[in-house]
Amino acid sequence: MSVSLFEPFRLGDLSLANRIVMAPLTRRRATHGTNAANALMAEHYRQRASAGLIIAEASQISQQGQGYAFTPGIYSPEQIAGWREVTDAVHGAGGHIVLQLWHVGRVSHVSLQPGGGAPVAPSAIATTKQVAIETGFVDCSAPRALGLDEIPRIVDDYRKAARNAKEAGFDGVEIHCANGYLIDEFLRDGSNERTDAYGGAPQNRARSGLEVADAVLEAWEPSRVGARISPVSPVHDMADSDPQTVFGYFVGKLAEKKLGFLHVIEGATQGPRDVAPFDYLALRKSFPGAYIANNAYTLELAEETLASGRADLIAFGRPFIANPDLVERLRRRSPLAEVDRETIYAAGARGYTDYPTLTA
């Protein structure tokens, strides 16, 4: 049976207008000083509310979880209020929106950390990549390994953030387990050399992510919770000796918890889809919830993927930056506007809320 990208989809008890998902896109427009969402961000998301589902940009669960200047958080009253303005705008336009919960782990700089401390990670292994601080891009600071007594505190930060997201009016949450950030760092043996209960065997490396899922499920029904993974993406110097085994185990355990959706970056983040061999269909078959496919999807590839049953929903990232009416452009098979790369992470409305629609 043919499945259209533009037909409705039932995600748990949410009725999505179509199968197009707006992927989370870090844009660094949060209010300086509070890292709270604001009216400009509310307008940005409102413009894109025709997506069946919006996954709002990654939002740090604590100051320790921040890796870039001016990214929004979800741990203070000001941040909850700011996100409420966003969710009200999206709901007022008929859309649905969930929040991505984020701890960057080692992908950070001392200037962003509480008291100027070192970023934290499963092991004291640095990444060679850079992050943006208030004065520009700098090398990531060397991390320190988390103590056993610190991990439950981070899990509790996720628990609080999940509750805060509900207070802010979101329709659900996505746990960020991808792109070389903290949970991904625990999962992959290239960044996790621990010899305790959180390192070594795949079951141990998956432990922190599964504990986070349990904490988030204290605040949300399972159908309103998802997880994002990037099994073979080398972003932020990530690697694993056997990704099929560790991610197969992790996804199987998430399936047992009846999570509502699995959001998978297939291939390299913002890079080639065939960067390394991986059986994504095996994940699809092991996970009874909705499978969201992500990475360099064109309209043609999206249609073919849905028709073959390899995914339920298709996530588009950068095309949503320059095309607030992406759904309509895809429906009409109209040309897509090009992204102004100089304004992706800049301040203000330029390159954020000023991209025209077809009708404009």
Which tokens sit at 345?
Answer: 């992470």
Question: Residue for token digits 């969402």?
Answer: 37
Residues 6+ apart with CB under 8 A from 4: 19, 303, 306
Q: Which of 8, 10, 9, 13 is nearest to 171 (CA)?
A: 13
Query: How far is residue 155's CA from residue 136's CA, in Å, rounded to a whole number?
Result: 31
Amino acid letter for position 308 = S
Alpha-carbon distances, residue 125 vs 3, 60, 68, 112, 352 (angstroms): 45, 21, 19, 19, 35
Q: Look at residue 247 and give its three-state secondary structure.
A: helix
Exactly one of 181, 249, 297, 352 is catalytic; name it: 181
Give the span between the Cα atoms of 296 and 306, in whole angstroms: 15
In terms of DSSP bridges, do strands 14-16 and 9-11 run parallel, antiparallel, or are they unpaired?
antiparallel
75 in catalytic set: no
HSE-CB at 17 with a 13 A cutoff on CA atoms is 17
Q: How far apart are CA 269 and CA 28, in angstroms?
A: 19
Q: How far is CA 127 from the centre of its chain?
A: 20
Residue positions annotated with a catalytic role: 181
